[in-house]
Amino acid sequence: MAEHAVVIGAGIVGAACAASLARLGHRVTVIEAGPVGGGATAAGMGHLVVMDDSPAQLALTSRSLELWAELAPRLPVAADYRTCGTLWVASDAEELAGILPKQAAYRTAGRAAGVLDAAELARIEPELRGGLCGGLRVPGDGVVYAPVAARFLLEHSGAALVRARVVNLAERKVRLDNGQTLAAEWVVVAGGAGASELLPDLPLRSRQGHLLITERGGPQVRHQLIELGYLKSAHASDADSVAFNVQPRPSGQLLIGSSRQFGRVSKEPDWPLLRRMLARAADYLPGLRRASALRIWTGQRSATPDHLPIIGPHPDRPGIYLALGHEGLGITAALGTAEVLAADLGGPASPLSAHDFGLRRFERQAVHA
């Protein structure tokens, strides 16, 4: 008989998990307090990007990109899926020196990556400022409009959608704010930043980001452009940071990021930080000064101490499965996450099972630290 599984959250991660559970033959109920795809999923940039900060991250993101490519032909047009590729831009010798190891890492993960010298960089992206040192082109990376992808995954899973807030998690049971209680063999917590309210002990912190979309008519670029200094500036510390990160939309608009900031949760932009972010973007892409800002918003990334998501059964709470803490990569990693879930629940094996995404790892890390 089909077992009942409940998924908390209809963001991109919850929707992907619902699709996975349904494929395993579970009867699935997704519980969502707000709009489908309306949390971090709506705020994100939708860059599908392979990242290599750690072997686990490289495995998760590169496997997820394969899964996105498999899904792509079925996605609705409005999901705006495209493989525009990523162009990592080096502005100095130090960043340039990081290119070859990065290329090697991508190749071990089976992802193509081509090194460009300064002249080639200027030829394929002529709007970039002069004086840059070179770049790494990762042609298999892409973009997707995640709210539509989330809705698609949810609808095609056949899962029932309940519009309510989960107020309590008990063993194999959830209680909703409408008074209802649902029993389930598995409760998958994919509530993004909201998961902390249900499970306050999770090591999650919100890391706010800003995005700006331009009107049509700005400079034309072909790839998602990111500075290689991104790794230095954005991930390294807890301080507020900005990095050049620009995405061309199919409409001819540009999406401009990125900023990272702990300890601030507000819909109101942090204007000084936003200006820093824009100044950085305009430094790399001077033509941006000609563009007009159409809309500015903030969003919350839910981050763990090691910047990797938590995917796996809760070690102390039977029947609870965690799929959260994806920080700035949850749209990319949603499909890989759902594959790990399936493998853990008796579905087909996943190459990702070789890596440790479980909650227990933080205890081990604390012991070894």
Partner 1 sequence: MTALETDLLIIGAGPAGLSAALSAAQGGAAVLLADLGPGPGGQIWRGAKASDGGESGTLLRGVQRQPNITALYGAQVALSERGPQGGHAVQFSTPQGPRRVLAQKIILASGATERFLPFPGWTLPGVVGAGGLQAMVKSGLDVRGARVLVAGSGPLLLAVAAGMRAAGAEVVGVAEQASPTRLLGFGLAAQRGGKVGEAAKLLWALRGVPYWPATYPVEASGGERLTQVELGGLTRRTLECDWLAAGFGLVPDTRLAALFGCALEGGAVKVGAWQQTSQPGIYAAGELTGIGGVDKARLEGSMAGYTATGQVERLRDLPTQLEQARHFQASLSRSFALRPSLRTLPAAGTLICRCEDVPHAALQACPSWTEAKLQTRCGMGTCQGRVCGPAAETLYGWTFTGVRPPLLPLPLADLLGE
Ligand X SMILES: Cc1cc2nc3c(=O)[nH]c(=O)nc-3n(C[C@H](O)[C@H](O)[C@H](O)COP(=O)(O)OP(=O)(O)OC[C@H]3O[C@@H](n4cnc5c(N)ncnc54)[C@H](O)[C@@H]3O)c2cc1C
Q: Which stretch binds ligand X (CB under 6 A): 19-27, 34-42, 131-139, 280-288?
A: 34-42
The radius of gyration of the chain's CA atoms, rounded to the nearest angstrom, is 20
Binding mask 256-295 for ligand X (x = CB under 6 A): ----------------------------------------
Residue 318, SS3 per DSSP: coil
Contact of 203 with 197, CB cutoff 8 Å = no
- Residue 89: phi, psi to the nearest 5? -110, 130
DSSP 275: H
Binding mask 166-205 for ligand X (x = CB under 6 A): x-----------------------xxxxx---x-------
Least distance from partner 1 to the Cβ atom of residue 39, Å? 10
Contact partner, 165, from partner 1, ligand X, none, Cβ < 5-8 Å per class = ligand X
Burial track 89-111 (b if 16+ CB lie within 10 A, e otherwise): bbbeeebbebbeebbebbeebeb
Taking the least distance from each CB to ligand X, the nearer of 140 and 330 is 330
Binding mask 190-229 for partner 1 (x = CB under 8 A): ------------------------xx--------------
Establish if 147 lies at the interface with partner 1 (CB under 8 A).
yes
Establish if 297 lies at the interface with partner 1 (CB under 8 A).
yes
Q: Tell me which residue of 264, 16, 354 sits closest to 157, measured CA to CA.
A: 16
Distance CA 84, CA 144 (A): 10
Contact partner, 188, from partner 1, ligand X, none, Cβ < 5-8 Å per class = none
Establish if 99 lies at the interface with partner 1 (CB under 8 A).
no
Q: How far apart are the first and last CA of the chain?
A: 46
Establish if 118 lies at the interface with partner 1 (CB under 8 A).
no
Contact of 76 with 150, CB cutoff 8 Å = no
Q: Which stretch binds ligand X (CB under 6 A): 112-120, 127-135, 327-335, 356-364?
A: 327-335
Task: Count Cβ atoms below 10 Å from residue 80 Cβ, excluding itself.
Answer: 18
Q: In DSSP terms, which residues pair with 192 in a beta bridge?
A: none
Binding stretches for ligand X (CB under 6 A)? 8-14, 31-34, 38-41, 43-47, 165-166, 190-194, 198, 209, 211, 299-301, 324, 326, 328-332
